[in-house]
């Protein structure tokens, strides 16, 4: 919305209020670096996973004991890892297609593929972290099972 009003406020005779100038500067920054905001979220996923700062629904697994609980946790880890790997493939393919077809954002003249590429990289790193953590999940020592 801000870029569509920008020409109204761009006049050499008018000094803009500080708040308006700040909003316009933020809008311009977001327009130029939108993929960094996407990246901040998806590249933080592996760190959140490693530190156990993710959301887990454990109403079933917490009621199980011993080997059954370990087996359920391992199964959930494998299914989650496979799902994340499927998302890596899908987002990488989408990024490639958008790069080849030069798909742009609707209202802004910016390519869409960098955002999808960053999402794909973040999901890949998360899948890798899940794979590395698999032996600890199997032993019940993963950071996923520690209470904060």
Neighbours of 45 (CB within 10 A): 19
pLDDT digit string (tens) for 30-46? 767 666 777 777 777 77
- How far apart are the two ends of the chain, measured CA to CA in Å? 41
In this prediction, residue 148 carries a pLDDT of 46
Listed as ranges, residues in the chain with pLDDT below 50 are 1, 148
Helix (H) or strand (E) holding 89: helix 66-101
The model carries a pTM of 0.64
In this prediction, residue 141 carries a pLDDT of 83
* Listed residue (147, 90, 144) closest to 117, CA to CA: 90
């Amino acid at each position: 919305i801000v870029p569509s009003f920008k020409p109204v406020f761009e006049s050499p005779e008018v000094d803009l209020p500080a708040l308006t100038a700040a909003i316009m500067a933020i809008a311009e920054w977001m327009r130029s670096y939108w993929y960094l905001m996407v990246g901040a979220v998806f590249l933080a996923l592996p760190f959140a996973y490693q530190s156990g700062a993710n959301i887990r629904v454990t109403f079933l697994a917490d009621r199980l004991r011993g080997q059954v609980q370990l087996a359920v946790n391992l199964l959930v880890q494998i299914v989650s890892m496979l799902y994340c790997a499927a998302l890596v493939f899908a987002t990488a393919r989408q990024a490639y297609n958008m790069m080849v077809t030069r798909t742009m954002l609707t209202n802004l003249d910016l390519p869409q593929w960098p955002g999808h590429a960053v999402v794909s990289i973040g999901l890949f790193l998360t899948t890798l972290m899940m794979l590395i953590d698999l032996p600890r999940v199997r032993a019940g020592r993963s950071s996923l099972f520690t209470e904060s």
